[in-house]
Structure 1
Amino acid sequence: MKNILLLGAGKIGCIITEMLSSTGDYFVTVVDKSELSLSRMPKNKHVECVQVDVTCKEKMLQVMDGKFAVLCACPFNITKYAAEVAAEVGVHYLDLTEDVETTRFVKSLSENSKAALIPQCGLAPGFISIVAHGLTKGFDKLRNVHMRVGALPKYPSNALKYNLTWSTDGLINEYCNPCEAIYQGELVSVPPMEEIEEFSLDGIDYEAFNTSGGLGTLCESLSGRVDNLNYRTVRYPGHRDVMKLLLQDLRLVDRRDLLKEILESALPITYQDVVLVFVNVDGYINNQLIQKTFAHKIYSQEINGVLYSAIQITTSAGICGVLDLLATGELPQSGFVKQEDISYNAFIKNRFGRYYASPEGENNLFDAE
């Protein structure tokens, strides 16, 4: 049994704890500064809760002692504290951050690290990078890689057509920060909330627009190989315009704490949601222009008798699956590991990765891996 340190006892921390501890292969020590949050954690013989402030290095050194890996499910602005200590003591490190600067910081720590540092292990970035990179295998020349992801309520009931499904800090961060992309072969920075597009899937209309962080490290990995690479968040039509009103016209982009307070007091959490993953890749194979498309929806479901939302399941399945692959030696044991370094086929066959199982017949898209 491997000892795991989990930082963050929120909505995602809860299901990570449930997934890992229920296998009997992991003992999970959950750390959070909130006693109330810790009280909501699953209770079994493979779980221990400790009240500690993650930003306190002295305390973190104590709780990391003897651990196989530390998993960080904290807001992006806290992640660097955990990564720094993990790199110092040589404990494997995984996180869920979508923040570009935080990921660059983690990468800088990996140069002398004796353990693996694996950021961005969630949905987007995370699984979406595994899918996109897997689809690019076998192409002689790539033209376009388009990645679209949305975590949406099944039953939208307000003008935003949105409910809170994960970190509010992370949501605001990706709506406000510049976005990376590759355009005509060049790395560019594009503004968030722009380049809106509309599409339909299974008879439902959606919109998609630029948001920050979803590409992970793919710009670096595909540089020089692809003409156009971009990531956009999927929402129901009309959402982008309301958010632009709040962020730009009312200047709440400069008062993010106030915006967080407004959203969390007005928008209820929902466990009845759907996660949409949509990736298009086109290019040349044997001088033929070929397109490969991955489209899949994941819904909320019960796990061990408890209903979890689709975003909880997909996010936790990502980091738990990567941890499993690390524990079994299928991933590098030291240095910086990108999500696109992970084989789609290895991930989807994993006991946690199976929650992402693609529609029947689409796994052959990845045979070239």
Structure 2
Amino acid sequence: MSSIDLENNFANQMNLKNNRVLSESRNRKRSSAVTPVNLDSKERVKEFLDKFDFILSDCDGVLWVNNGAVKGAPEAINKLRAKGKRVCFATNNSTKTRQEFHQKLTKLGYESHMDELFPTSYSTAVYLKSIGFDRKVFIVGMSGIAGELADVGIESCGVGSDPTPRHWTPGMADVELDEDVGAVVVGFDNQISFPKLTKACSYVRDPNCLFIASNADETYPHPDPRVAVPGPGAYVAAIQAVTGKEAIPLGKPYKYFFDIIRRQHPEIDPKRTIMIGDRLTTDMVFGRNNGLKTLFVQSGIGTYDDMINFKNSNDPEDHKCVPDYYLNSLDDLNKYL
């Protein structure tokens, strides 16, 4: 190779390197533009409070974990109410009806009212009623979905134990399918089983059967960080893999869920509303998708490191997961309220 060729080759390599450095620099600039604010001072909290009138709060991992309230969270929410903030509870948890959520909130010390409660068990019932659905629903989930469906006059089946018989093998999966089923709804199910998944997949393969995900959260909060509890997203993914059919999503982070809230509260101004959540990929994205401000608390699924990784990502989609504000937990607000 001649000296001219060597020089040209070297120049090309340097240009590629410079272009790569320039591209990385631009990507870093885009990432650094998303800067969450730590609400760690009275001044910052005051500025924060002045920017919103309406609160949408997630429940699991924000207000409670399992059956225990997150320390200081009831006091913080109730103090925010006392300052004139409106509160609604927007949860992807479909295991309970609105009445049952109201009872749990009251027991744990939170003020709440029925028209403020929006679990995905309720959004599922609202959706099916709105499209004039008049068949039976097969539920991979718990009694919350069945209860809300019953309230709007829709019959359901599938809730409860459906254990795998000892003699079952893949070629001997005997099931009885109900010809009246016209939709499969998936939520969290602590009695998930092979027969349930078999029935769900069999129904969903019918092109006339609706496939609905009350939510698609991959995991469920647990007080021991070493324990990974599969959420409805795991069951939804399994059914999609078998059937090739995409689920209709009715929870966060999708816009339909916010539409249901606004239907009951048309006075909500998205620009003056804050979404509080513990799940960066769901709660924060829900806020971004609907023009809301977002507050991330680390008392549930997400961590500070997760937030920083999303912030530093070169993928603009990851920036939707970055909150406007963050705290360790809602208890941190109490000293400033």
Of structures 1 and 2, the one scoring higher in RCO (CA 8 A, sep 6+) is 2
Q: TM-score, normalised by structure 2?
A: 0.32
Greater gyration radius? 2
Higher strand share: 1
Q: TM-score, normalised by structure 1?
A: 0.30
